[in-house]
Amino acid sequence: MGGEGVTVFLVVLTICATLCVLRGLKLKYRNEAPRDDFDTGTMQEINRGLQRMESRVESLETLLMDQPRRSSARHEMD
């Protein structure tokens, strides 16, 4: 009977240790930053770049739209 009691104790101890390790791993990975943060940061960087590009295009459009007015004003002055 003594051998069976030790075996049962070791089995129960092994199950409890396994459960504790799995719970510890679950808590460890829950606290880590998810990979989505990297994707979100990349998307935000792309968005900022596109906004800057849009601003540049609008500036160029303004310059191009003003150019005929300037050239016609020069011709009128001559």
**What is the Cα–Cα distance from 18 to 22, expressed in whole angstroms?**
6
User: For residue 19, what are the domain limits?
Assistant: 1-32
Task: Round to whole Å and give the CA distance between 56 and 66.
Answer: 15
pLDDT at residue 51 is higher than 90: yes
Residue 37 or 8, more confident:
8
Please give the tally of structural domains in the chain.
2
- Check whether residue 50 and residue 78 sit in a common domain: yes
Element housing 78 (H / E): none
44 token code pair: 């935000």
Q: Are 54 and 25 found together in one domain?
A: no
Q: Are residues 28 and 49 in the same domain?
A: no
Q: How far is CA 28 from CA 24, 36, 70, in A?
A: 6, 17, 66
Confidence of residue 32 (pLDDT cuts 50, 70, 90): low
User: Distance between CA 48 and CA 42 in Å, rounded?
Assistant: 10
